[in-house]
Structure 1
Amino acid sequence: MKDVAVIGYCRTAIAKAKRGALNQTHGIPLAAHVLTHALERAQVDAGEIEDVVLGCGLPEGATGHNVARNAALAAGLGVGVPGVTINRYCGSGITAASMIASRIATGEIQAGIAGGVESISLVQFNMNFNGFFYEPLQLKMPAVWWTMNQTADFVSQKYGITREAQDAYVVGSQQRVEAASLAGKFAEEIVPITTMKSVTDKETKQTRLEEITLERDEGPRPGTTLEGLASLPPVYEGGTTTAGNASQLSDGAAALVMMDADLAAQRGLPILGLFRGMQLSGVAPEEMSIAIAPAIRKLMQRHALTMDAIDLWELHEAYAVTTLYNQAELETPWETTNVNGGAIALGHPYGMSGVRYVGSTLMELGRRGGGKAIVGVCTAGGMATAAYLER
């Protein structure tokens, strides 16, 4: 089996859904933007790309019609470059990376692009719910159709993770995001995008389009305090989940160029690190947040990894309760866990997030001179993906 190198990574800044800069940006140009710039960073010609796999949590409407193939065409990769869109909800991005990596490792291709795209603004609020529920399974397992907010509250109650603990975690995470931003870490990943944004006048209620260039993440809230978080009402009465301790609804895209590591080294290309493998787990749908720990354990067992061998851990901030449960279960050191904050502050475009975690974690490994990292992402339906990265 061949080693698989990541030789290019970039992402858009993450925009707030509905109110943000990308609220009118179709999925095709959004994804095409990062495909183009990832190739530039990788110093690879479009003609060398043999497959494009894009993860997307809601692959319909503006991100439907096989957005991967269409984005590849829009990016100018050429009619000979195929593409496929895959959906594992929040785990879509890591799954996309695993699919490209597997094809390279087995010698089927030498180079490909894995990415993720999400336009919650244009899709989630306009979804087709015709036939969405399947009554026989819904009667047997209603949690399959629960909202993620419901699953977070369920885990919080079952495992005794208090609202106070969640809010305290959020303050720390926001502070880490602010520090990373001030240090220019996110700017290294972001490729600015100029697009048209829909703006509604608060007084007249009239809507207009205005040109905007998105250069930085819109979600972070510097100065977040415990008092401010405590004042927020829970989503569901009696629950602990609030707008402050849940990941934000967001739009964005990211891409990774991946290549046979030996070939990349021979050509002197900019190797960010190696994608060593992915593992999956499944749990009861109502306990979605706890699925990261078993996926990571399986990954570590498969690669014979010990806890002290891991330099960085990235545990998806679907909710504060998600990170708190899995950090405690795995006993990862806080000083190496989510070191630059996470999705609660930055936002969580479903299909994009896993790709962002892979790329940003490899970059952080490089800054620290680290060797190994693990990324875990829970996903709707009671699943999780976990990836092992190395520099």
Structure 2
Amino acid sequence: MTKQLQDAYIVAATRTPIGKSGRGMFKNTRPDDLLVRVLQSALAQVPNLDPKLIEDAIVGCSFPEAEQGSNLARMAVLLAGLPKTVGGITVNRFCASGISAIAMAADRIRVGESDVMIAAGAESMSMVPMMGHHPSMNMGIFKDENIGMAYGMGLTAEKVAQQWNISREAQDAFALQSHQRAIAAQNAGYFDAETTSVEIIERIPNLATGQIELKTRTVSRDEGARPDTSLEGLAKLRPVFANKGSVTAGNSSQTSDGAGAVILVSEKILKLFNLTPLARFASFAVRGVPPEIMGIGPKEAIPAACRAAGITQDQIDWFELNEAFAAQSLAVVQDLGLDPAKVNPMGGAIALGHPLGATGAIRSATTIHALHRNNLKYGMVTMCVGTGMGAAGIFERM
């Protein structure tokens, strides 16, 4: 007997502000603490929901080691004070880890195995660098047929820029627009509803007294967007991945720190606790592409996600297309004929930052709240993924 799938609904969605890695506001803040903050905030958005009904927490993280190792998900569940009956599993699909966590949680509900799930993502690129602390690659990836897997992300962006004829000028213009849109959205307060503030405690040595002084401040605003960005300034930056290339630090995503979380429930839980859904998780798709042009991944995932949701691409009102690089974002927009006005209307990772495994959950919170604020129906979160993949998830406003 075939069992009919049920819908999975999002009843809470939030994220931390995004900090710059290295010297940013979260440089000394552990990723599990950022995750704890959004888990507690998401639960506070649905006070009627009995947390004992939460079965599992699925958390995305691109490099789950060191401060974000030891099964980050379960650790954060316990630190957040959730019932000890709530499980936790950490998953990794690089940049698509956060949206994959949401899709996995939704699937558990859709097949009837769970009624309440948490999905999240967290990453500290200040504490755990790209590739982790001790990368160890299989030598087989350096064989001719596999060499694309060995390319750095920047080099794959150069390959996309060459193959899709994306000029340096077009990349810089796209980067400038990302900053301008992000600054405008911040000034208008558009990120406020989706953002959970974080209290930062700094320990400062007082050399005169020999004591450690505690300084506390609360942050609630992404720190990556720059109002002084200009085409002239971007044009002065040198290519960083290829000698005569076009990909620069200015038209690439920022390395960042942050976390995001959503709570998903079944229709039975909606009725039982009289909850108002923010959105329905409509579909998810992942597709592989050649690793050397990994940035083009959303070109394959977007149509697949639309087919799975039973809608057309034109019905998507809001695209959060992760700006790993301006070159790959422009190539995807160009190939699929996306409406530029619908793509990252409040800026993207070039301005706001890209905390790898957290990005999918963060941009999902952005999409869900944007659909409500603008009275739109369908929103999509999509991104390219290292080693040659694209992922896309669709949300329907309720």
TM range (shorter): over 0.9
Q: How many Å separate the matches in 1 of 2:368 and 2:318?
A: 9
5+ long unaligned stretches in structure 1? 201-206
| Structure 2 counterpart of 1:354, from 350, 353, 360 | 360
Q: How many Å separate the matches in 2 of 1:147 and 1:98?
A: 27
Aligned to 1:133: 137
| Structure 2 counterpart of 1:83, from 77, 84, 88 | 88
Residues 265, 341 of structure 1: alpha-carbon distance in 2 compared, 3 angstrom cutoff: farther
The AA in structure 1 aligned to 2:322 is: H
Residues 265, 221 of structure 1: alpha-carbon distance in 2 compared, 3 angstrom cutoff: farther
Aligned to 2:325: 319
Aligned to 2:229: 224
- Equivalent residues in 2 for 1:296-315 (5 A)? 296-315=302-321
Aligned to 1:164: 169
Q: CA RMSD in A?
A: 1.9
Aligned to 1:268: 274
Deviations 1:139-195 (A, max 9, x none): 241221322111111111122101100001111121111111111111211111112
Q: Look up the SS of the partner of 1:83 in the other structure.
A: strand
How far 1:197 sits from its partner (Å)?
A: 4.8
Q: How many Å separate the matches in 1 of 2:256 and 2:372?
A: 28
5+ long unaligned stretches in structure 2? 206-211
Q: How many Å separate the matches in 2 of 1:154 and 1:48?
A: 48
Q: How many Å separate the matches in 1 of 2:177 and 2:131?
A: 35
Name the % identity. Answer: 38
Q: Is the 8 A contact 1:62 1:122 kept in 2?
A: yes
Q: Is the 8 A contact 2:13 2:368 kept in 1?
A: no
Q: Is the 8 A contact 1:23 1:197 kept in 2?
A: no
Q: How many Å separate the matches in 2 of 1:172 and 1:198?
A: 38
Aligned to 1:203: none
| Structure 1 counterpart of 2:44, from 40, 47, 63 | 40
Deviations 1:285-333 (A, max 9, x none): 1101101011111112233322332211221111111210111111111
| Structure 1 counterpart of 2:24, from 17, 20, 23 | 20
Q: Look up the SS of the partner of 1:6 in the other structure.
A: strand
Q: Is the 8 A contact 1:42 1:270 kept in 2?
A: no
Q: Is the 8 A contact 2:319 2:380 kept in 1?
A: yes
How far 1:376 sits from its partner (Å)?
A: 1.2
Q: How many Å separate the matches in 1 of 2:50 and 2:246?
A: 49
Q: Is 299-308 or 212-221 further displaced after alignment?
A: 299-308
Q: How many Å separate the matches in 2 of 1:198 and 1:102?
A: 43
Q: Is 40-49 or 69-78 further displaced after alignment?
A: 40-49
How far 1:266 sits from its partner (Å)?
A: 5.0
Aligned to 1:49: 54
- Moved segments of 4+, more than 4 Å: 197-200, 207-210
Q: Is the 8 A contact 1:21 1:212 kept in 2?
A: no
Q: Is the 8 A contact 1:180 1:186 kept in 2?
A: yes
Aligned to 1:257: 263
- Equivalent residues in 2 for 1:1-391 (5 A)? 1-43=5-47, 44-124=49-129, 127-129=132-134, 132-140=136-144, 141-197=146-202, 210-236=215-241, 237-265=243-271, 267-391=273-397
- Give the total of aligned pairs: 384
How far 1:48 sits from its partner (Å)?
A: 2.1
Q: Is the 8 A contact 1:7 1:257 kept in 2?
A: yes
Q: How many Å separate the matches in 2 of 1:231 and 1:299?
A: 39
Q: How many Å separate the matches in 2 of 1:75 and 1:97?
A: 19
How far 1:336 sits from its partner (Å)?
A: 1.5
Q: How many Å separate the matches in 2 of 1:307 and 1:110?
A: 30
Q: How many Å separate the matches in 1 of 2:200 and 2:91?
A: 26
The AA in structure 1 aligned to 2:99 is: I
How far 1:129 sits from its partner (Å)?
A: 2.4
How far 1:22 sits from its partner (Å)?
A: 0.9
Q: How many Å separate the matches in 2 of 1:290 and 1:362?
A: 24
Q: Look up the SS of the partner of 2:126 in the other structure.
A: helix
The AA in structure 2 aligned to 1:213 is: T
